Amino acid sequence: MLVLTRSLDRDASEEGIRPQVILSGIIGMPIAGAATLIRLLLRRHRLWWDDLLAGLSALSLLMTGVSGKLLYSINEDSTIPQSSRVGLYYIVAVTFDTTIWLSRLSLLLNIMRLGHFRRRLSMAAVLFSIALIILVAQIFWVCIPQDNHNQWKSDTVPQCTLGKQVAINQITTDFFADVVLVATPLLLLKSMLIKSKHSRALWTRLAASFSVAGLTTIVSIAHTVYLLEGSPVSLIVSNVQMSVSVVICNFLVLSAALHKLWAKYYPSTKESSQEPTLSFRAAERPPALPQDTMTSMMTTFECRTEDSQGLAVESPDKPDTQRKDLEIV
């Protein structure tokens, strides 16, 4: 969570890292917000559920940033009521989970919008939603009883100690989400048929876009390590994790828009949709037959086709024009 260790004013090291925590939010959150805004502008005429979830994740990130800034600006001279301080802590803790998981749901629905594995991805989306509900609920069932023991709500900067059980639940759900978001695109890319330069460019963009989804796994692992150690560095890593998650859920749409912009000003000299680019080497043509042999074969062929049922024979070299390339933007 964004606030997972002891109160910042309880320990000198935590007090010293407070400026870095605020700085990590100031740098990452505007970038994530700008990426989401551009994405929504690009897709304003054909919005879908993945766009809505991307917008909600950015809104949740904004709430985290504002609440965290207010919370970590509290000192002994602050006039903010104690109940409001506790409320700020809960907002920061809850919006961390909502930002991460709404971003993951947006990316998952983005994959689903491509038209593959819809049934399985729908089940995964339900499991993602259940995981989000459990992670949010555990904040309350851990922190509310804990106040009876250590009176954390009375601290200058209220902060609940969530413990290893919460960290284990977070590790488990993060691992499941990362496996789904990395394995599914790999299967999708493997099943795609590269038939033209346009589809090859689409394959490249998909591979690059979904490869960066692995960054969330790396940041999540780092956050978990610092979290289990009780290090205040987990506060910085959590800010980075939220910002990276929001940016990545928008990356596929933004990369497709950049490709279209590039193709508009630097168009290809050949019609990509008409020139096949197969993933295997075409067979070599057989040597030319003598003229008399060719004439005999053509005569035999014409005789045999007189009794046919009018079946059309398609040239194997004719490109398949019925399969449409996927569109992201």
Number of CB atoms found within 10 A of residue 96's CB? 26
Taking only the tens place, the pLDDT of each residue in 103-117 is 999 988 888 877 667
Number of compact structural domains in the chain = 1
Alpha-carbon gap, residue 277 to 196, rounded angstroms: 5
Residue 94 lies inside a defined structural domain of this protein: yes
Q: Is 319 among the domain residues?
A: no
Asked whether residue 308 is assigned to any structural domain, the reply reads no
On whether residue 280 sits in a domain, the answer given is no
CA proximity to 53, closest of 115, 101, 116:
101
Could you tell me if residue 314 is inside a domain? no
**Rounded CA separation 42/255 (Å):** 12
Answer whether residue 290 is part of any domain: no
Q: What is the pLDDT of residues 204-243, one digit of tens each?
A: 666 666 667 677 778 888 887 777 776 778 888 888 989 9
**Angle value at C-alpha 286, between 284 and 287, nearest 5 degrees:** 125
pLDDT in tens, 171-190: 889 889 988 888 877 777 77
* Residue 235: alpha-carbon gap to chain centroid: 22
* Residue 247 burial class via C-beta count within 10 angstroms: exposed 0-12, middle 13-18, buried 19 and up: buried
On whether residue 84 sits in a domain, the answer given is yes
* Average pLDDT score over residue span 115-132: 88
Per-residue pLDDT averaged across 10-35, rounded?
A: 77
Higher pLDDT, 164 or 230: 164
Q: What is the mean pLDDT of residues 85-108?
A: 93
pLDDT for 276 equals 38
Domain residue limits at 41: 8-193+218-249
Residue 301 falls within a domain, yes or no? no
